Structure 1
């Protein structure tokens, strides 16, 4: 009987030792899809709030409704060189501190108008020590607009999408053309 108890205890101890290294007790997990950027889920949420400030939802879906923050992170992770990625992440990491400096609160705690003001002032920041922040916001704005206009929602539901341009029509009255409804 004592041998069974010893084997059971040994099996439990071995199982526990195997399980402990797989338990991660760190505060935030780094998202593996953006391996070069080392972005956590809270940083992804902050980027979503910034993109939603740039293109808010209204008559049309907003940037965060379309998960444009994922598009931005993929573009920065895969398409930018290492120096540009470092500059982007340096600006990204300093953005919340910049928001606290300007408004006294974290960006996520601000009202919509205050968020717009922080983004606008960050885009037009003149000082040399804010180059990374200005670059981060400029890149974020550019990729937000690009991702929004090229999203499936915009291409299929808002604009009339045609995979292949239609027949060539040499003479067409401008009034007879169908207008795209980009404002909702």
Structure 2
């Protein structure tokens, strides 16, 4: 092997080793898919658990199966004002502390019934001008927005519109001689 190439590689490796201690690997990366939001992967998972608690899977798919958390983050990123985006992200960041204070456990450690109770109580929080009051108001805004966008994203999904409640642009033709007992599954008309 050429001595010059070996020395060049040795210099590059030692320079890289000098830079490694200055790198901070403890912080969680912010997702780059959203321009205006500073959301981490763990916060996105928490949002998924919240939306799955609001509309869980059963006989039909739930909110998490239909990727509603992605819909929520895209709507907040694209459609909310800067102030509302800030309140949403502050509420998302403050939600784990709120759950810890309310129940003494992490959100993922709660039972389904406890998760529902925490979310329902959180939507009714009222804030004031103190720092703690502002956090409560942000959590309430976050939960109410998440609930509204979860329902909107779920009902507008392709799965719901094609398989569960088939969408019909124009109502079916009129037939006055049909018995009520012979009617088919209701269709949502636009």
Question: Matched residue of 2:33: which SS?
Answer: helix
User: In structure 2, how many angstroms separate the alpha carbons of the residues matched to 1:17 and 1:115?
Assistant: 50
Q: 1:79 to 1:25 in 2, by over 3 A?
A: same
The correspondence of residues 49-64 of structure 1 with structure 2, limited to 5 A, is 49-64=49-64
Uncovered stretches (5+) of structure 2, i.e. residues with no partner: none
Alignment: residue pair count: 178
| 1:165 shift after superposition | 2.0
Pairing partner for 1:9 from 2, 7, 10: 7
- Paired residue for 1:152? 158
- Paired residue for 1:165? 170
| 1:29 shift after superposition | 1.8
- Paired residue for 2:119? 119
Q: Which moved more, 1:63-72 or 1:164-173?
A: 164-173
TM-score, with normalisation over the residues of structure 1?
A: 0.83
Uncovered stretches (5+) of structure 1, i.e. residues with no partner: none
The correspondence of residues 1-184 of structure 1 with structure 2, limited to 5 A, is 4-14=2-12, 25-128=25-128, 129=133, 130-162=136-168, 164-165=169-170, 169=174, 175=180, 177-180=183-186
Q: CA-atom RMSD, angstroms?
A: 2.9
User: In structure 2, how many angstroms separate the alpha carbons of the residues matched to 1:18 and 1:179?
Assistant: 66
TM-score, with normalisation over the residues of structure 2?
A: 0.81
Check the 8 A contact 1:158/1:181 in 2, yes or no. no
| 1:87 shift after superposition | 0.6
User: In structure 1, how many angstroms separate the alpha carbons of the residues matched to 2:177 and 2:152?
Assistant: 30
Question: Matched residue of 2:5: which SS?
Answer: helix
| 1:91 shift after superposition | 0.9
| 1:49 shift after superposition | 0.3
| 1:16 shift after superposition | 7.2
| 1:170 shift after superposition | 8.5
Check the 8 A contact 2:167/2:187 in 1, yes or no. no
